[in-house]
Amino acid sequence: MDLVLIQLLNGVQYGLLIFLAASGLTLVFGIMGVINLSHGSFYMLGAYGALTLTQFTGDIFLSLALGVPLAFVFGFIIEWLFIRHLYDRDHLQQVLLTFALILIFNEAQKILWGSYPHSVPVPGYLQGGIKISQFLSYPYYRVAVAAFCVALALAMMFVIQKTRIGRIIRAGESNREMVEALGIDSRLLFRFVFASGAALAATAGIVAAPLESVYPGIGEPVLIISFVVVVIGGIGSIKGAFVGAILIGVADALGKVYFPAFSSSVVYALMAAVLIARPGGLFGRAA
């Protein structure tokens, strides 16, 4: 029973982390209409960035404070260099160009950090955990990560629902041309959205770094699972990404308990079930 509880907690915490990555993906597609396969690379660069920054700062949260703006600027540059050429092109070319970006980012990672896994320390004041039973405890750092993700999710919902930029984002999601016709510079909007998406993925990578080892290709499972989350939640929907991510996190955790051999298939089965019932995702516009 304790194992199930721990797994459930892990599942929710994993889901929250995935939400950060998936929300970036869903925003970029919902607003810009771009399929960004290199989204997982931003997660990977976030994790490796955390490795290097923590070596200097000694604290993962200081690395976070430094890393997120860096990731934002990096996303800004990547959009300017590559992504902006994709807006008038079809999905196929977007898939291709962002796939090529993965090759480049992976190689860059290998040159800069090598092929061996690394670990990032949990800060001293978050060592240890909450005692759940006689034998089991739940690490403070995981609790902190979960709390951070929830806070960020709430902040995002606030920005999107209540602020001017949020209103533009929501408008752009449902009618891109109209937003342009109203005199909003969509190039700037897109650059901002893409950079935010990159920053979100990197944020997830940074806070996840102390949870597991940092290794080459760390972003790829995150990319795939983010896709699944976006499909389940409905493209462009932050709320959908949130619900989808938690569902996936819990399904994955329970799958590991009950069907250990096929645990990774459980999330895909969940996705298939959602698609059969609602081909546009849970919160999506009709597909």
Binding site for other proteins (CB under 8 A): 29, 35, 37, 82, 85, 89, 91-93, 95-97, 99-104, 106-108, 110-111, 220, 224, 227-228, 230-231, 235, 261-265, 268, 271-272, 275-276, 279-281, 287
**What does the alpha-carbon distance between residue 226 and residue 238 come to, in Å, rounded to a whole number?**
12
Contact 52, 67 (CB under 8 A): no
Name the token pair of 11.
């599942």
Tell the smallest beta-carbon distance from residue 241 to other proteins (Å). 13
Measured from the CB atom, the residue of 85 and 187 that comes closer to other proteins is: 85
Tell the smallest beta-carbon distance from residue 219 to other proteins (Å). 12
Contact 139, 121 (CB under 8 A): no
Q: Count the Cβ atoms, other than its own, within 10 Å of residue 227.
A: 19
**What does the alpha-carbon distance between residue 13 and residue 15 come to, in Å, rounded to a whole number?**
5
Measured from the CB atom, the residue of 22 and 60 that comes closer to other proteins is: 22
Measured from the CB atom, the residue of 89 and 187 that comes closer to other proteins is: 89
Measured from the CB atom, the residue of 9 and 198 that comes closer to other proteins is: 198
Integer Rg of the chain from CA: 19
CA 216, distance to chain mean position in Å, is 17
**What does the alpha-carbon distance between residue 4 and residue 258 come to, in Å, rounded to a whole number?**
9
Tell the smallest beta-carbon distance from residue 179 to other proteins (Å). 20
Query: Hey, is 65 helix, strand or coil?
Result: helix
Contact 201, 18 (CB under 8 A): no
Q: What is the 3-state secondary structure (H, E, C) of 119-131?
A: CCCCCHHHCCEEE
Q: Count the Cβ atoms, other than its own, within 10 Å of residue 191.
A: 20
Q: DSSP character for 83? A: G
Tell the smallest beta-carbon distance from residue 10 to other proteins (Å). 18
Tell the smallest beta-carbon distance from residue 275 to other proteins (Å). 6
Measured from the CB atom, the residue of 9 and 102 that comes closer to other proteins is: 102
Measured from the CB atom, the residue of 111 and 188 that comes closer to other proteins is: 111
Tell the smallest beta-carbon distance from residue 264 to other proteins (Å). 4
Tell the smallest beta-carbon distance from residue 237 to other proteins (Å). 13
Measured from the CB atom, the residue of 49 and 281 that comes closer to other proteins is: 281
Query: Hey, is 121 helix, strand or coil?
Result: coil
